[in-house]
Amino acid sequence: MMAQESVVYGCIRDVVFTADMEETRRRRENNRRVLLALPSIEGWPLLSREMFAVPPQALLVDDLHTDVVPFGSSYKGVEYEWEQWLVHFETLLRQMYWVSATVHLETEFNGTHTFVWQTDGECHEPHSGAMSMRCEWTREAAGF
């Protein structure tokens, strides 16, 4: 029996304003700290710090800027642990500043699922409960 590979990828977005550089620095530093505190991939956790591209602490040059934290990993049949994966991801989101998060789950047998989290306000702040998730499922028909 062949292993069922699943691919998970997506991004977390946060909009920052350069008018308040201290607020921007604080938000970015919080998000970096949360991501860097994730366990190493060596222990085979569902979420690891190596799967996230932690954004640099670059200076902003525009009036409005979107920080994007891309991530991705392949798994062996993660859909069988998907509920647990979602719990870990939402725990991560609860600790971060963000305006939206998108996760794509591609599976060999169950098609592609897209999960989108949005905040109920302007942005999600750490440890606030104001977020909602929706899921979309697509599956391509086999060729005839």
Q: Which residue has the higher pLDDT, 21 or 96?
A: 96
**CA 8/CA 114 separation, integer angstroms:** 10
Q: Which residue has the higher pLDDT, 132 or 33?
A: 33
> What's the confidence (pLDDT) of residue 2?
54
Q: Where are the domains of the chain?
A: 5-138
Task: Mark out the alpha helices in 13-81 (DSSP H runs).
Answer: 21-36
Q: Which residue has the higher pLDDT, 132 or 105?
A: 105
Residues 6+ away with beta carbon under 8 Å from 121:
130
> What's the confidence (pLDDT) of residue 1?
47
> What's the confidence (pLDDT) of residue 91?
94
* pLDDT mean across residues, the chain: 84
